[in-house]
A and B are shown apart, each in its own frame.
Chain A
Amino acid sequence: MTEQNNIDDLIGKLSEELEPVKPMPHPLIQAIPYIVVSFAYMAVVVFYLGIRGDVIEKLGDVAFMVEIFMMSFLAISSMITAIYLTVPDMRGEKWILAIPFTLLASFFGMVIIKAVSEGVDMPNVHKMDHCMGEGGYMTIIPLAVLLFLTKRGATTRPYLSALMTIFAVAGLGYVGLRFTCSMDTIGHAVISHMIPYIVIGSILGIAARKIYKW
């Protein structure tokens, strides 16, 4: 049997198997409810775990608010990008990938400036465990839901999908932890608050082709 016959047979078989399908909703229509629910869930966990005592003072601190907004935008843009990536051609909106990367680069720029101006001040081990656990509570469900949403599609960029998923939950967890943890040193914020996501991200990255196989 020739290859052309194989292709003809395959086309015949696929045509026979066709069932009506409902086109996937626009990525923004999927992303907006997810973003709202994820942030609401994170806020509930933050209230449950207890807000830091000096929160009113911190809300008046420009540097703190810049950090919060930057990481919130990182989380939101990564959530939207992860869902856009479920469409093979991203609906032609590839430029959207630049937003989370720019925000992350800005965040690391801010980390370097703070490290130089204030010192790194590495965390103690007890406090580290505590923050890692709290970060886990804040992001485990948003992570599971985002993985479910992104797996439903047909990404042609599995590594970027994994990266955007981890950027999204890392941003979300970072924002939540800044409201529960009163340690403001950059060493603690980066090591304790980000390392768990770097580990999860590495696992997701290694398994990306399998996770997003379709």
Chain B
Amino acid sequence: MKKPSNSNYKPAAEDIWTENAILAQSGDKSAYNELLRGIAPFIRNYILKSLANPDWADDITQEVLLSVHRSLETYSPDRPFRPWLMAIINFRRTDFLRKHYNARENKQTSLDSPDFLKTHVTEPNHAGEYKDIESALATLPEKQRRVFEMIKIEGYSAKEVANEMDMSVSAVKVSAHRTMNKLKEILG
């Protein structure tokens, strides 16, 4: 890589990565070690802000490092290193999240579980909304709340709720609709 002639020139991290990647391709283990040590915190910090669970950042960082190792031959010395690395980071992050959320679909977790918010809410900053909904529901009359919970949360049909609550089907639907409007009003 061409460097400016100025003696005060200090290469940016990306230039160092590019140089080290080229040396690594020729088998230089210390340059490779320096490269991996340089990119590991960058990868972690980059992905951390987009993850619900900070613990995942370390798993994905390890996946990315392994991927860099496996695909080192696809890096072209005439190209900057960072875009190549970013493509791998984004691919591995998406892959990790896809596997995680696919596995999650098969799990059943109680809303009361202390781990629920950590493992099942994508955006933890919005986790408090569950508590807001619970509070809003608590303000409703018992029968109206029970109808709403059965039809909207527990997944019963209007007919099943009507039988259980000794109401007509249309009355159940009207009650659920009114409750939904009331909740929207309370929650803004």
In the bound complex, CA of A153 to CA of B70 (Å): 10
**How big is the B interface, by class?**
35 or more
Q: Is A89 in contact with B77, judged by CB distance below 8 angstroms?
A: no
**Interface flag for A184 (CB, 8 Å):** no
User: What is the size category of the interface that chain A forms with chain B?
Assistant: 20 to 34
Partner of B66, one of A3, A14, A87, A89: A14
Indicate if the CB atoms of A214 and B71 lie closer than 8 Å.
Answer: yes
Say if the beta carbon of A6 comes within 8 Å of chain B: yes
Stretch at the interface among A17-25, A163-171, A173-181: A17-25
CB distance from A119 to the nearest CB of B (A): 45
Let me know if A154 is at the binding interface, CB within 8 A: yes
| Chain A, range 1-19, C-beta contacts under 8 Å to B | 3-4, 6-7, 10-12, 14-19
Give Cα distance in the complex from A102 to B37, angstroms.
Answer: 43
Q: Chain B residues near A154: list those with CB within 8 A.
A: 67, 70-71, 74, 88
Contact B27 A20 (CB under 8 A): yes
Tell me whether B76 is interfacial, beta carbon within 8 Å: yes
In the complex, whether B168 has a CB less than 8 A from a CB of chain A is no
Which residues of chain A are within 8 angstroms of B66 by Cβ–Cβ distance? 10, 14
- Pairwise interchain contact A23-B73, C-beta atoms closer than 8 A: yes
**Does A60 have its Cβ within 8 Å of any Cβ on chain B?**
no
Confirm or deny: B53 has a beta carbon within 8 angstroms of a beta carbon on chain A. no
CB pair B74–A87 under 8 Å, yes or no, is: yes
Residues of A within 8 A of B26 (CB): 20
B51 contacts chain A at the CB level, 8 A cutoff? no
Minimal Cβ-Cβ distance residue in B for A3: B58
Instruction: Determine whether the beta carbon of A17 is less than 8 Å from that of B69.
Output: yes
Q: A11-B36, A14-B65, A15-B32 are in contact. Are A24 and B73 (CB under 8 A)?
A: yes
Asked, given contacts A88-B84, A89-B83, A91-B79, whether A19 binds B27 with beta carbons under 8 Å apart, the answer is: yes
A89/B87 in contact, CB under 8 A: yes
- Contact present for A88 and B27 (CB under 8 Å): no
Chain B residues with CB under 8 Å of A156's CB are: 87-88, 90-91
Task: Give the 7 A-B CB pairs with smallest separation, nearest first.
Answer: A20-B27, A154-B71, A156-B91, A3-B58, A88-B87, A89-B87, A15-B33
The interface of chain B, by Cβ under 8 A from chain A, is: 24-27, 29-30, 32-33, 36-37, 40, 55, 58, 61-62, 65-67, 69-77, 79, 83-84, 86-88, 90-91
What 10 new A-B contacts, CB under 8 Å, besides A6-B62, A7-B61, A12-B33? A7-B58, A10-B65, A17-B69, A18-B27, A21-B73, A24-B74, A88-B74, A154-B70, A154-B71, A214-B67
